[in-house]
Structure 1
Amino acid sequence: MESTDSNSVHDATAAALGFYYQSQFALLTLISQEADDAAVAIERLDDVELKANGQTLLLQLKHSIKDNPPPVTLACVAFWKTLKVWIDAIPFVSLADTTFHLVSVGSVPSNSPLMALCDMQTDRESLLTAMLVEACRVVDERAADKAAGDKLRHGPRAAGCEAFLALDASTRLSLVRRIRIQHGSVSIGQIPEALSKRMHLIPKEQRFQAAERLLAWWDQQVIYTLCGKRERVIQRSELQHSISSIIAQLDDEKLVADFDLVSHPDGYEADGMLYRQIALVQGRSSDVSRAVREQWRATQQRSKWIVDKPQMRSKIASYDAKLAEYWSDRHARMAEDCEDLEASEVGAKGLELLRWTHDLAPKDVEPISPSWSGHYYVRGTYQVLAIDLQVGWHADYLKLLKD
């Protein structure tokens, strides 16, 4: 088959991007909500349907891939087609609890009557009059064309104009009062960056990567909604859960052993409790020097993580608890074995437990994250816990160190 350029007549790029824009804009809308009950649906009552705080917001999206998107005016097809969609939806919504948004990449000209729809506080009476005049013009000119046997003008706008004129005056005014145009909106290529700016819990350097992962998750959910594999509505709570999972993934991938092979400053001394704990089990100078070195490294690593990623606090605390549990199993068994032993033998057993934290614990306990490779963290954290008396090496360390 010969390679040919894309046939512009059948090129579906704009249509495909238009639907993809609906999906991504729905995500951008949902992540911007603060209400816990916020939820969106795509391609149901409108392009995007948002429910929050007991209110319904119907969004009709007009995307463009042109460098200069067409403006939104009272005569444009997009406006009247959108109006027809909303009029058709009126029987299915509570008009008093529903707001209708036209989101457009193009802008509304400053002299257009539609500027009144860019601010919900603006009076709509003059706009309503202009809309009635335009709708009547379209209907009258089509009637004249039909009577003259000519080709009917304004075909794409006709249904919207006729439906608007068919509404009773009260419904027409209520509808116009609940419309808002959000013009000059972000285009599809700008959405990942806009998303990243809303991910405030994630360090700045990771936000764009997180936004891309969130979009991948979102795309799958949208596909599932459209093919019936899940309910049509996507809840804000689901979005929050996905963001939490992404944060955890990024944490795991970004944990770097910053202090591997880094020596503590000359003259550094650890907390006195570290030395007292080791002295109880007759630890040698090599045991002490190793414990001090690893305690310094682990302390520096913990501090750096907390400064760089405040959300690491809970992960550090959980891992401390895991290390304490591994120690507890060994300490309890050791204490039982020491019940009938001499003091020197009890100390020897404690020294074995101390050396287990140096030699075997980094292999016995799974790392704080799958990518972590710094053995000093387990060794040094055991010393941090020993300083706080959360662990100890002697069978009776709490009793002996109570003062």
Structure 2
Amino acid sequence: MVKQQQGAGHSAEASALGFYYQAFFALLTLMRQDTDNAAVGIEQLDDVDLKVDGHNLLYQLKHSTSDAPPVISLKSKALWKTVKVWVDILPDLTLSETTLHLVTVAKLGLDSPLIALTNLEAERTELVEAMVEEAQRVLDARAAASKMGKALPHADRVDGCSAFLSLTDTERLNLMRRTVIQPGSAAVGAIEDNVAGHLKLLPPEQRPAVAMRLVEWWDRQIIYSLCGKRERVIARGELQHQISAIVSDIEHDKLVPDFEIASPPRDYQPDGMLARQIQLVDGKTSDFSKAIREEWKAREQRSKWLNGSPAMAVTINDYDLVLEEHWSDRHSQMVEECAELDQKGKCQSGLEIMRWTHENAPSTVRPIAQGWGAAYYIRGSYQVLAIDLKVGWHSDYAKLLGDAE
């Protein structure tokens, strides 16, 4: 996985950003291709693997959240850790069909021998000699420290140095001839803007929205690929199809179910009124868990729509009225039928109304928009309305819960 350079620390935030950098760099790399048979995957032979016209391009990524990450030099652990990875996978590669890329947000020193790696056609002989000299210096320093009983230096580089020195002269030169370094790469926060910048065929006003939706889709595909829910590689044709679908949705103002497969955070706590409504009708644990999940999804969906277009408030409010009317027809009839029932009977009747919102309402009530088919919005919106006491499950919910509003 993509490594964080010095300055980012080992925090969970830095690790998460590193993963997103890896995933979105793969997206940007695939967008840059103009060959239909290009395909990309992550966490296979390398951080990012790109296949184009029978050629393999492998990418080692070194991300940093630092505003000024240290320059890449012959002494950089990022370089030698990358060398170790590539030496280890050499038996699995056909070098003549492979290009190895070290991608870093850091810059190169102006007089660094590594500048030769910025051009695949540049001569590498002097660079290889300098790398051998540096690798040997590291091993000699450790040997000297060991002989004197001192702590061994260069622990973060020794494996790469040893691996490089284990190769023959020819193998070292051939490895470097297939190696390219890409310094000054955009950090993760800039990648979505870069994605938008590659959508040249779209009107400028559409590009940010398409880029945002494309990044969200890509994020899911990467997760699915790592979980085995889809093929490990994503082809350029699939990416192009998704871009076309997103553009079509935007042009037709189609609402997209953004939270159909999402889950609420583990620490999510809904408004207490949701629980009170269900408790009034003796709801079970499964009723609570489903209600909390769907309420979160619907609330998040509403928020996203409103943030994207404040005009959606009218659509949301009008649809709430539709939901309330369908509920009212059933609830008013239930109130009449259970007028003479005892408390247990009223609870059972109310529970049936509440479960109707989950089990039957999605197929009974029209969707919020043409083409919408995600059941969670109806299910969760009824819970949102229940929190506001605009609907309820018990025949006497308004009286029993009114003071708790």
Q: Give TM class, smaller chain.
A: 0.5 to 0.7
Query: How far apart, in 1, do the equivalents of 2:122 and 2:93 lie?
Result: 24
CA distance in 1, matches of 2:103, 2:165: 24
Partner of 1:244: 244
2:225 and 2:161 mapped to 1: Cα distance?
33
- Indicate the residue corresponding to 1:228 in structure 2: 228
Matches within 5 A, 1:99-114: 99-114=99-114
Provide, for residues 331-367 of structure 1, a one-character-per-residue CA deviation record: whole Å limited to 9, x for no partner: xxxxxxxxxxxxxxxxxxxxxxxxxxxxxxxxxxxxx
User: Is 1:13 paired with 2:18?
Assistant: no
User: Larger Cα Rg: Structure 1 or Structure 2?
Assistant: 1
| Alignment partner, residue 133 of structure 1 | 133
Spell out the pairing of 1:3-402 with structure 2 (5 A cutoff).
11-253=11-253
SS of the residue corresponding to residue 200 of structure 2 reads coil
Aligned AA (1:220): R
Q: Is the 8 A contact 1:23 1:222 kept in 2?
A: yes
Report the secondary structure of 2:156's partner residue. helix
Q: Give SS of 1:217's match.
A: helix
Q: Secondary structure at the match of 1:155?
A: coil
CA distance in 2, matches of 1:141, 1:68: 29
Residues 126-157 of structure 1: CA deviation (Å, up to 9, x unaligned): 11110000000001111111222211110010
Distance 2:118 2:15 in 1: 26
- Which amino acid in 1 is paired with 2:24? Q
- C-alpha distance in 2 between matches for 1:107 and 1:25: 18
2:216 counterpart letter in structure 1: A
Q: Secondary structure at the match of 1:51?
A: strand
CA displacement 1:206-239 (0-9 Å, x = unmatched): 1011001000000000000111111111111110
Separation in 1, partners of 2:9, 2:245:
43
Aligned CA distance change for structure 1 residues 80 and 9 (closer, same or farther; 3 Å): closer
Asked whether the equivalents of residues 84 and 159 of structure 1 are also in contact (C-alpha less than 8 Å), the reply is yes
Find the aligned partners of 1:84 and 1:220 in 2 and give their Cα distance. 31
CA RMSD across the alignment: 1.7
- Which digits, 9 at most, give the CA deviation of each residue in 1:268-294, with x for residues without a partner? xxxxxxxxxxxxxxxxxxxxxxxxxxx
Task: Please tell me whether the aligned partners of residues 199 and 207 of structure 1 are also in contact (alpha carbons under 8 angstroms).
Answer: yes
User: Following the alignment from structure 1 to structure 2, what is the Cα–Cα distance between the partners of residues 93 and 78?
Assistant: 21
Which residue does the alignment assign to 1:353?
none
The whole-number CA distance in structure 2 between the counterparts of 1:88 and 1:188 is: 28
Residue identity over aligned pairs, in percent, reads 51
SS at the partner of 1:239? helix
Cα distance between partner residues in 1 of 2:232 and 2:146: 43
Shift of 1:187: 0.8
CA contact (8 A) 1:49 1:56 kept: yes
Q: CA offsets, 1:138-197, max 9 Å, x none?
A: 011111112222111100100000000001121111001111110111111111111111
SS across alignment from 2:30: helix
- SS of the aligned residue for 2:253 comes to helix
Letter of the 2:137 counterpart: R
Q: Distance in 1 between matches of 2:92 and 2:136?
A: 27
Contact preservation (8 Å) 1:87, 1:164: yes
Shift of 1:10: 6.3
Q: 1:201 Cα shift?
A: 2.4
Amino acid at match of 1:34: D
Deviation at 1:9, TM superposition (A): 7.6
Tell me the alpha carbon deviations over residues 90-121 of structure 1, each in whole angstroms, 9 at most, x when there is no partner: 11111111100011101001111111111112
Residue type matched to 1:243 in 2? I
Supply the distance in 1 between the matched residues of 2:66 and 2:84 (Cα, whole angstroms). Answer: 25
Report the equivalent of 1:375: none
Paired AA for residue 53 in structure 1: D
Determine helix, strand or coil for the equivalent of 2:100: strand
TM-score (norm 1): 0.60
Letter aligned with residue 231 of structure 2: E
Partners of 1:34 and 1:140 in 2: CA distance: 48
Runs of 4+ in 1 over 2 A off after TM superposition: 8-11
Tell me how far 1:11 sits from its aligned partner: 2.4
1:253 partner SS: coil
- Which residues of structure 1 form unaligned runs of 5+? 1-7, 255-368, 372-403
Counterpart of 2:49 in 1: which secondary structure? strand
For the Cα contact (< 8 Å) 1:252–1:370, is it kept in 2? Answer: no
